[in-house]
Every structure is written in structure tokens, then in C-alpha cells.
Amino acid sequence: MKSATGKNKGEEKVQYSLFFIQRFKGKVLFNVPMSEYTSLRIGGPADVMAFPQDEGDLKDLMAFAEAKGFPFYVLGSGTNLLVRDGGIRGIVVNMTEGFKDITWLDGGKAIVGAGVKLPDLVVQTRDRGLSGIEFAANIPGTIGGAVCMNAGAYGGEMKDVVEGVEIAGRKGQKGFIPKSELNFSYRRASLPKGAIVTRAHMVFELRDIEEIKAKVTEFREKRKATSSAINFPNAGSIFKNPESAPAGRLIEEAGLKGEKMGGAAVSEVHANYIVNTGGARAKDVLTLMALIRDRVFSTRGVVLEPEIKVVGED
Ligand SMILES: Cc1cc2nc3c(=O)[nH]c(=O)nc-3n(C[C@H](O)[C@H](O)[C@H](O)COP(=O)(O)OP(=O)(O)OC[C@H]3O[C@@H](n4cnc5c(N)ncnc54)[C@H](O)[C@@H]3O)c2cc1C
């Protein structure tokens, strides 16, 4: 069987193995079911998954991929992702096992590793009396993923607390992108093609700890009822909220709550969530997404834009 680079798959695997055995410090897995690495629990196999431990690993990995012409895809916690059923060719760079450091600086600033989980950062900033990221108390995912998605809730967004990001460029070279060049917008940041965020430079406001604790508790409580009721694997909101109305309301008004396609269903609790009720395939989710878009367009004249990222082969 030929791969994306036109090589025989066995031959390609040997090349990957030789490289990784010689240089790479992190874990490397082959033929990895992406369903084990996404919150929707859906997705075919990735040829290779590598877990870089530090900048050295990342530099070697990216230089290797570039030299051999192997494609790569960056993965955080996979909580905003739908991987197609044919899986991902090339290397999935899993950022969740390295880059977990946080350097606390004066003036409410911190440099936060891309692999740090958002809820963990919320707890650590809260305990230091640093305010600004309370909104993320219940958003799963990594700092790297949150910056790329400009994750947000309850009126807060990553752009409010990010001053810039350290990156590994296409060939692994280090770089820094200031906030002014990230062009943050709704659930989006612009990064140079192929760049991997390694750390975010963040700034918080010094506030009373009790005040911060109260805010974090309030946001957690607000979500608790919904998230525990959803009760099936999901990837959060499937579509962005258009200006006219929340996507969930439009989908509900189009009569699609509970609509099923194979193992995928529009959540009965929150219509902008598609849930995996068991054995769902990416094809089911994509068909359901197409149906939702058609129905909302025909009933309300609104074009829904996906918020989740869809990757891989059919
Ligand atoms: C139950 C639930 C609730 C959610 N609630 C919210 C919410 O309220 N608000 C919200 O905004 N989102 C929400 N989400 C979506 C998701 O949690 C966020 O978008 C999160 O920030 C994604 O982080 P991740 O590490 O899982 O990224 P992934 O899903 O792994 O990746 C997302 C994108 O970022 C890229 N990426 C990841 N890491 C890096 C990196 N280091 N460098 C470069 N690119 C990278 C990936 O290639 C991909 O394109 C929710 C999801 C779930 C399951």
C-alpha cells in the first residue's frame, strides 16, 4: 500500500523508526486509532504519533518531516476535533506530554507551556490571586489548542490574556509572535503555516483571591448542569454562533434536537452539540452537520460555520 508520500508503507515505517530510535526522547506510536485521542471518540488511525518532550525533540521531528516530505498534524487534547474515518497520514505531533512548564514572572505575567491543561492553569492562577482566565474553568483542552482556537466563554477569550506565543516554525526553528500579529478573532488566531505553539506569554490582573474563587465557582456551576446531562462523548459546540442568534437555538428551532445519523445524534440537551451515542463514525457526524446546515439555511437563511476542525482522510 502506498502512503501520502508515494512510498511503500513498510519502507516508510522503517524510516520513521530509524529516526526515532536514534534521536527522539519522547514516545512514538504507530498506527494509532485517533478515536483514543479525541473527545468525540471518533477517528481512523494516524500513521505515526510522536510526543515531543522539548524543543530539541520538536526541532529534530520537524526537520525530519520537512526533509522527507512527511506531512504532520499538531494535536492538543483533541477536544475540538473530528478526525475522518480513514485517519491521518504522516505524523501526528501530540503536545500533551511535554511543554507542561509554567514560569511565573513579576507583574502578573507567566509563560505557559502549550501542553498545560486549561482547567489546571485556572486553578494555579486562582491560587496566586491572578485574574483573567476564570472563563476557562471548564473548557477542556491545552493552552496550545486554546490559543489556536481563541477559546472563550462567558465574555472572556484567550486574546484577553495572551501577549504573544513562542513557536517552532515549519523547520523547527524557534520564533515569537506578538499578539498584534496573531490577529485574534472569534475562535481563531493566525499562525504561520505549519507553526507549532510551544508556549504562551500571558498576563493576568492581580485581584483578591476570594473574588476569583467566587467567579470560578460560578462559571463551573453554570456549566455543570448542562455538561453532566449531555453525558455522551462530544467536542463542545459544533458550529460558531452567528451574529443573529446562538447556533443551538437555530438548530433547535429547525426541529433537529435528537436527530440521529448512525451513532451520532444532535444532543437533546444542547442542540449545538453532536454526541457519539455509541459507535458513531466521522461520516455520521459529517452527514448530520450537512443536514443541520441545510435545514438552518432553508428555515432561517443563516449559513452555519463549523467551529470544530475536521481533519484526515475519508
Ligand atoms: C465539553 C466541551 C466543552 C467545550 N467548551 C468550550 C467553550 O466553552 N469555549 C471554547 O472556546 N471551546 C470549548 N470547547 C472546545 C475545546 O475544548 C477548545 O477549543 C480547546 O481550546 C481545544 O484545545 P485542544 O488542546 O483540545 O485542541 P485540539 O482539539 O487538539 O486542536 C484544536 C486545533 O488547535 C490546533 N493545535 C492544538 N495545539 C496546538 C499547538 N500547540 N500549536 C499549534 N496548533 C495547535 C490543532 O491542530 C487544531 O487545529 C469545548 C469542548 C468540549 C469537549
> Looking at residue 165, which CATH number applies to its domain?
3.30.465.10
Q: Count the residues in the chain.
A: 314
Residue in this structure with the C-alpha cell 477542556, named with its chain if needed: 140
Number of domains in the chain: 3
Q: Does the residue 30 lie in any domain?
A: yes
Instruction: Count the neighbouring beta carbons within 10 Å of the beta carbon of residue 139.
Output: 23
Please tell me whether the overall predicted TM-score, pTM, comes out greater than 0.75 for this model: yes
Q: Is 52 in the pocket of ligand 1 (CB under 6 A)?
A: no
Query: Looking at the domain assignment, is residue 2 inside a domain?
Result: no
For 200-219, what is the mean pLDDT? 97
Instruction: Mark whether 62 and 120 lie in a shared domain.
Output: no
Residue whose C-alpha cell reads 512510498 in the numeric block: 7
Q: Residue 218 contacts by C-beta under 8 Å, 6 or more apart in sequence? A: none
226 occurs within a structural domain: no
Domain CATH for 42: 3.30.43.10
How far apart are the CA of 94 and the centre of ligand 1, in A? 13
Does residue 136 have its Cβ closer than 6 Å to ligand 1?
no
Structural domain boundaries enclosing 146: 102-212
Same domain assignment for residues 134 and 199: yes
CA distance linking residue 134 with residue 32, whole number of Å: 34
3-state helix, strand, coil in the chain (%, to 5): 35, 25, 40
pLDDT digit string, tens, across residues 100-145: 999 999 999 999 999 999 999 999 999 999 999 999 998 999 999 9
**Rounded percentage of the chain residues whose pLDDT exceeds 70:** 94
In a domain, 217, yes or no: no
The string of pLDDT tens digits covering residues 86-97 is: 999 999 999 999
112 & 66 share domain: no
C-alpha gyration radius of the chain: 20
User: Which of the listed residues 34, 81, 94, 139 should we mutate to test ligand 1's pocket, taking the one with most ligand atoms within 8 A of CB?
Assistant: 139
Residue 138 covered by a domain: yes
Beta bridge partners, 32, equal 46
The verdict on the CB of residue 216 being under 6 Å from ligand 1 is no
Together in a domain, 207 and 267: no
Our measurement of the distance from residue 257's CA atom to the centroid of its chain's CA atoms, rounded to an integer in Å, reads 25
Looking from the CA of 103 toward its CB, the CA atoms found within 13 Å total: 7
Q: Which helix (H) or strand (E) holds 118?
A: helix 118-127
Together in a domain, 81 and 106: no
Q: Assess if residue 40 is contained within a domain.
A: yes
The pLDDT of residue 16 is above 80: no
**In this structure, what DSSP letter does residue 106 have?**
S
Write down which residue in 42, 70, 94 finishes a domain.
94
Same domain? 117 vs 208: yes
CA neighbor of 272 nearest in space, from 226, 310, 311: 226
Question: Do 114 and 182 reside in the same domain of the chain?
Answer: yes
Which of 94, 111, 144 terminates a domain? The answer is: 94
Q: What residues form DSSP beta bridges with 309?
A: 81
Phi/psi of residue 310, nearest 5 degrees: -110, 125
